[in-house]
Amino acid sequence: MKVSCLQENLKHGLSIVSHAVAAKSTLPVLSNILFTTEPGRLRLQATNLEIGITHWIGAKVEQEGAVTIPAKLLSDFVGNLPNDKVELTLDERTQTVHLRCARSEANIKGIEADEFPSIPVVETDQPTVRIAPGDLRAAIEQVAFAAASDDTRPVLAGVLFKLQDTTATLAATDGFRLAVKTLELREPASMAQEVIVPARALTELARILGDDDEAVEISITPSGGQILFHTANTNLVSRLIDGKFPDYARIIPKQYATRAVLDRAAFIQNARQASVFATSSANITKLTLEPGGEWGPGRLTLSANAAEVGDNKSELEGQVDGEGGQIALNIKFLQDALNAIATKQIAFEMQTPSTPGVFRPVGDDSLLIIVMPMTVR
């Protein structure tokens, strides 16, 4: 193999596929990136056996070939090279790659390409659905945080991906909170589908999606075992989680006793203050809503009390309608909910101290976040 490409293109490609490199594995080759020449371009691939990422960069191919190269070593070295042409030459006998860029060069020992596991290919002529990259990335960032971080219950570590006509719904829950986002599609999905995608796979996808990409083509295998996200130069394929997603609709409150419309930036700042004390008291923070009088605004009070550290209280004015009341929430879950909403104002709804708190962006009905209350003695 003998190939040359620009350092900035190689660096960018390595940063994309490195997200799929296995952090710890009994197979040394999974710590490597597979390089394969194609006419006029170089294909980079990495997999951790759960997700696989393929990225193509433009290159001048003088001699065809394939090899796997240690991901971290290569990324660190290429990242410190000048923005110039990089030449890669493989010695097939020793599986050593010689890199040359300007006045710098290095020899890196690789592993034969045959040892690299094959990344599944989703064979389909027609993608199931197309979604604008900016819309998909925003939806993932507004939902994936609510998925479980461990695999104790695999279904909860995934995001429900539901397609119906011209609507795509993403939902995630870890049992303590729920996030639901609805996207309006420019064209209808080719078929109605409901699958569970690992949240980690979607998080990696959000990192590599650019606003200048064309619509992301999403294809689901007929067997329902894998899903492929395809952009102009990148493919991400992930296994799907087998199981039934919880019926989240039944826990969404149909009404509220108190509703507050609050400034998002001020709400985030007050929550940040409360977190200083709440982290020392099981992450508990209390939200107290007081309706406004005839001439004055309503008020939200955030308070946290850590017996061995101290306590704090901060107030936030806003429009408060209804009975008023108090609810205790996990401060981390509260902050995650606030950070997932992009509008300047946030609507917070509640019924009683023992029912969920509901967060919505004002003026946007496509997002709903629910946080379960904590019990305070």
How far is residue 254's CA from residue 188's CA, in Å, rounded to a whole number?
29
Q: Domain 129-248 is of which CATH architecture?
A: Roll (3.10)
pLDDT classification of 214: cutoffs 50, 70, 90: confident
Instruction: Give yes or no for residue 296 having a pLDDT over 80.
Output: no
Average pLDDT of span 227-242 = 92
Q: Which of 111, 61, 65 is nearest to 87 (CA)?
A: 61
What is the reported pLDDT for 352? Answer: 92
Q: Is the pLDDT of residue 123 over 80?
A: no
The separation between CA 194 and the C-alpha centre of its own chain, rounded to angstroms, equals 19
Average per-residue pLDDT for the chain: 92
Give yes or no for a contact between 331 and 285, defined as CB atoms under 8 angstroms apart.
Answer: yes
Among 136, 123, 117, 131, smallest CA distance to 33 is for 117
- Give exposure, 274-291, as e/b (b: 16+ Cβ within 10 Å): bbebbbebebbbbbebbb
Give the mean pLDDT of 167-191: 94
For 179-206, letters b (16+ CB in 10 Å) and e give: bbbebebeeebeeebebbbbbbbbbbbb
> How confident is the model over 47-67, as pLDDT tens digits?
999 999 999 999 999 999 999
Q: Please state, for a pLDDT cut of 90, what percent of the chain lies above it.
A: 81
Alpha carbons within 13 A on the beta-carbon side of 75: 17
Tens digits of per-residue pLDDT, 146-171?
999 988 899 999 999 999 999 999 99
pLDDT of residue 22: 87
Q: Using CA atoms, how far apart are residues 311 and 350, in angstroms rounded to an integer?
A: 24
Give the mean model confidence (pLDDT) for residues 14-30: 90
* Class of domain 252-371 (CATH, top level): alpha beta
Beta strands in 165-257 (DSSP E): 167-173, 177-184, 193-198, 216-220, 226-230, 234-239
Q: Residue 295 above 80 pLDDT?
A: no
pLDDT score, position 83: 93
pTM value? 0.90
| 213 pLDDT higher than 70 | no
Mean pLDDT within 92-97: 94
CA angle 118-127-131, nearest 5°? 110
Neighbour tally for 73: CB within 10 Å: 14
| Cα three-residue angle 138-54-49, rounded to 5 degrees | 90
266: closest CA among 237, 300, 243?
300
pLDDT for residue 121 is more than 80: no
pLDDT value for 195: 94
Quick: pLDDT tens for 34-51: 999 999 999 999 999 999
Q: How far apart are CA 312 and CA 285, in angstroms?
A: 10
With 90 as the cut, is the pLDDT of residue 292 above it? Answer: no
* Contact present, 42 and 35 (Cβ < 8 Å): yes
pLDDT at 308: 83
Contacts of 269 (CB under 8 A, 6+ apart): none
Do the strands 104-109 and 96-101 form a parallel or antiparallel pair, or are they unpaired? antiparallel
pLDDT at 307: 83
Look at residue 100 and tell me whether its pLDDT is greater than 70: yes
Identical fold at 2-115 and 129-248?
yes
* pLDDT of amino acid 229: 94
Average pLDDT of 185-198? 90
For residue 300, list its beta bridge partners.
289, 316
Nearest C-alpha neighbor of 234 from the set 28, 41, 53: 53
Maximum distance among all Cα pairs of the chain, rounded to whole angstroms? 85
Supply the CATH classification number for the domain 2-115: 3.10.150.10
Q: Are strands 367-371 and 357-361 parallel, antiparallel or unpaired?
A: antiparallel
Domains in the chain: boundaries? 2-115, 129-248, 252-371
